[in-house]
Structure 1
Amino acid sequence: MGLLIKAEYRKIITTKMWWALLIPSVLLAIGWAWLGGYFFSQVASGLGEVFDDAGVNVDLDKMSWASLGLTRAMNFATLFPMVFGALAVASEINRRTITTSFLTASTRSAVLTAKAIVYVTWGLVYGVVVALGATIGTAIGSDSAVLPGAGDWIIILLTGVLACVLWTLFGMGVGALLGSPVAALLVLLLYAGLVGPISEFVITGASNYSNIAGLMPNGSANGLTGSTAAELLFQQAKDMVAASGQSQVITDDVVNGFNQLVRFAAGAPGAFAMWLSGLIFVAWTALFFVTGMVRNNSRDIT
């Protein structure tokens, strides 16, 4: 197994793909976090002025709005580890280089297990680098008053790193299942970039079925980081309203509306709590990964 793992690392390091995808993922994380931090800082400032003019004694402009930019940046950047994972098996099947690995190893399962171990570590690498990029962008673009506390910041980053690892394995499973890098990339990018977000928006708009979005792969993955940021802001708002002594005038509709608003802003409309979103996305990842691996245990490699 050790030799197979070493061989998989060499396959990756001796090509340009790993850094060709890593560089734009970092740049995207920095850019989106920077813009998101700036945008939500301006929103918070405007919100504070509106509340002051209305004589409302609630400092919602002092909440951790920058966490939304941090969350959004990490969610967007997960596209790259997903693509990286999608090419893990699919590109080898397409070039028939996996034939040699299957024929020289003790079993196909050993080859696929070695790939899984290696790509988990690469998912961690992508996650850590993306987290650092998002941190830099958020710190530069955000007003200090709206930055999350250190503990909340770390939790968001950790959930983002976990999302990168799971997206890597998710992409690997889809690539292994389809056996074509072009087909795998088209399916994954269309779903993650277009079909998933649009369907979440449409489903969440139907209030009776809003949580269905949180059961989808894209919705549950975004819920990992998005629910963390949304719950942070929601709790801060509740505490501030309670401290102001005005909680009795806040209706349930206002509470639910605010909760839905911050979840939508965090990119996690209809998502469940962080831990439940994580379990749902783990289940989706396991489904596609295991199915892809089983498919390749019996695939014709001639």
Structure 2
Amino acid sequence: MPALGMVGLVNAEARKTSSTAAWWALLIPAVLLCLLVTAISESSAAVAVAKALVFVAPFAAVFGVVCAAAEFSHRTITTSYLTAPGRAQLVLAKVALAAGVGAGYALVCVPFGLLGIVLGGNEMGSGAFSTVLGLTLVGMVVYALWAIVGVGIGMLIGNQIAAVLTVVLYLTLVELIVELMAIWVFSLENVREFLPKGSADQTLAGFAGDVSIDRLLEAPTLDVTPWWVTLLVFCGYAAVAVLGGIAGAQHRDIT
């Protein structure tokens, strides 16, 4: 019975999502940017696709935020809480739906990335197909985790605009400042690989074989953390975000 209840909640979340334009309004610029990044890239196919996935990953996170926090803006969260068997179950249903959509974003973006490589006149290279196929699967996991992180933040903050701004500011500015301070003050040169965005980016970069993708400081002698380790680190951040979202849902007064 609990499993059937979760299926019903996920189906309800899917209906809510399909009734809005948010999912495709975020997907369209994501795929176009992915195409543009690979079209102007001079890297190998796998590295170009990895760079594109890194560049457009915030769209998956923002979708997760919207998936969670839109109900607060539309004032439908009270009804959702009352019709769900529990607030935690509702959050987990949103997590499941957002993870599926996030993975779908990566699945759609990769073919557009390959199209960009072709339109840019670059060679695919031998063995590129198998690497890109594996990168697609890894990208789907990373994007699913980004969407999960977005749900956690959206449920924790409870305000759609504030949650989106928090995610955007963190991804564009806050983590950069944290990394620079860690490098310059504490000489922690590989700290980025253990921060949320850095661990996600390094997962994609490491799998593609480019250990210096989007790195602030080039350090040829730096020991680079394996991609599967940084993926586990990012999984930890996603778990923390979900727990935070559940805690926020449990303790928030919605009356």
TM bin, normalised by shorter chain, reads 0.7 to 0.9
Gaps of 5+ in 2: 217-221
**2:38 corresponding residue in structure 1:** 33
Aligned: 1:276 with 2:229:
yes
CA contact (8 A) 2:65 2:151 kept: yes
**2:211 corresponding residue in structure 1:** 263
Q: Output the CA distance in 1 between the equivalents of 2:181 and 2:121.
A: 31
Aligned: 1:20 with 2:25:
yes
**2:191 corresponding residue in structure 1:** 212
CA gap 1:186/1:283 in 2 versus in 1, 3 angstroms: same
State the Cα deviation string for residues 160-192 of structure 1 (Å, max 9, x = none).
221110100011111111111111111111111
Aligned: 1:113 with 2:118:
no
CA contact (8 A) 1:222 1:268 kept: no
CA gap 1:281/1:102 in 2 versus in 1, 3 angstroms: same
AA in 1 matched with 2:214: G
Aligned counterparts, 1:1-150, within 5 A:
1=5, 2-36=7-41, 39-40=42-43, 65-141=44-120, 143-144=122-123, 149-150=128-129
State the Cα deviation string for residues 135-179 of structure 1 (Å, max 9, x = none).
222333253275652222222222222111010001111111111
AA in 2 matched with 1:152: T
Q: Residue 254 of structure 2 aligns to a residue in which SS?
A: coil
AA in 2 matched with 1:15: T
Q: Residue 188 of structure 2 aligns to a residue in which SS?
A: helix
Q: Which has the higher helix share?
A: 1
Per-residue deviation, 1:18: 1.1
Identity of aligned residues (%): 31
CA contact (8 A) 1:197 1:218 kept: no
Per-residue deviation, 1:193: 2.1
Give the counterpart of 2:240 among 267, 287, 291. Answer: 287
**2:164 corresponding residue in structure 1:** 185
CA contact (8 A) 2:117 2:124 kept: no
Per-residue deviation, 1:268: 4.8
Per-residue deviation, 1:103: 1.1
Q: TM-score, normalised by structure 1?
A: 0.74
Deviates more, 1:116-125 or 1:273-282: 116-125
State the Cα deviation string for residues 73-103 of structure 1 (Å, max 9, x = none).
0111111111100112222123321100111
Following superposition, which runs of at least 4 residues in structure 1 exceed 6 angstroms of deviation? none
**1:160 corresponding residue in structure 2:** 139
Q: Output the CA distance in 2 between the equivalents of 1:146 and 1:201.
A: 36
CA contact (8 A) 1:176 1:292 kept: yes
AA in 2 matched with 1:188: V
CA gap 1:215/1:125 in 2 versus in 1, 3 angstroms: same
Give the counterpart of 1:223 among 188, 199, 202. Answer: 202
CA gap 1:72/1:202 in 2 versus in 1, 3 angstroms: farther
AA in 1 matched with 2:247: V
AA in 2 matched with 1:292: G
AA in 1 matched with 2:211: R
Gaps of 5+ in 1: 41-64, 233-261
Deviates more, 1:126-135 or 1:149-158: 149-158
Q: Output the CA distance in 1 between the equivalents of 2:16 and 2:86.
A: 19
CA gap 1:293/1:138 in 2 versus in 1, 3 angstroms: farther
AA in 1 matched with 2:93: A
Per-residue deviation, 1:203: 4.8
Per-residue deviation, 1:195: 2.9
Q: Residue 189 of structure 2 aligns to a residue in which SS?
A: helix
> Which of the two has higher C-alpha Rg?
1
Q: Residue 209 of structure 1 aligns to a residue in which SS?
A: coil
Q: Output the CA distance in 2 between the equivalents of 1:140 and 1:179.
A: 42
Per-residue deviation, 1:28: 0.9
AA in 2 matched with 1:141: G
